[in-house]
Structure 1
């Protein structure tokens, strides 16, 4: 109980473990004695962090590995980020892309083709926007600090600091909305400015939903190619027959 209180007081997190359910065994007794406990700041810098139980033969304890690597399972599906709607003239930009996509054919073919073209436009725009946004946020913070010093020295006006802070807060709001959507948290009201919380929830969802192993042909497989093939085959049988 004292150790549990220590873990709670220090806000330590017990990460999901793959490869085995127990880390110690002797005779008929089994228990999970070995584990990594990490602080939230680790998860802020390493979004994908897992414990993995390794094979053991002689010792009663199996070694565990703290793995920050995330294997690529292929391209991620496209999702519309509702924070994009906070960007200036976004609706006009979307309308222009939709009109500029010239497609002929039946209505269903036209709509499907236009949506695919719009998706590709959004992917390119989002990638460029993210790169520019990171640089812009760093510049804004640096500039705000410089102007604050100048204001104290009587060499600049407070209005200039206010306009920069307004732009910076707008960028933070867009980031908050984006992480709220990824976290799937629906019950917190708008404007809570708690991006770190949403960031943690989204990371927890990714760790919980990750498939480390799957039963393939009556045996557990950790091979990502076999797992991907089995999942694809399952849904093909389910939807195509």
Structure 2
């Protein structure tokens, strides 16, 4: 999994100027090791500049790995601090962590609940709804990037920069916490 800076197929690149071409060395490596791309969700491309979109970042697997993790899924997240979109590998995307499954001694649970309530109230008073605002900005950025994959729009490009700047600001505030 990572940034390979190479494409495997014509579909890995969308550009008004040039067509995608398989990198023979990278393709040969993938073929000789009998690797395949993991299934991904969301955005098709992980790097962009201007009107050029390329899938440079990917996760590869072999049959043995896929047998061990049959539900594995790669998500392309919105890029924020880099020209590449981070990729997230979920080996069990269907797994939903149920908070009720975790049990504590009642006095510890009560103390944690009181502390959590206090911190949430403090966070709301000092920073607003930082987490929900971050999620909203990431959804908005993801939608803009999807739209930019389909059409070249200076309005969307400007909006993308505005949302990205606001998200960077939110992430910087989050780092302070």
Fold conserved (TM > 0.5)? no
TM-score tier, shorter chain, comes to 0.3 to 0.5
TM score, norm. by length of structure 1: 0.29
Higher RCO by CA contacts (8 Å cutoff, separation 6 or greater): 2
Larger Rg, first or second structure (1 or 2): 1
Question: Hey, which of these two has a bigger chunk of strand by percent?
Answer: 2
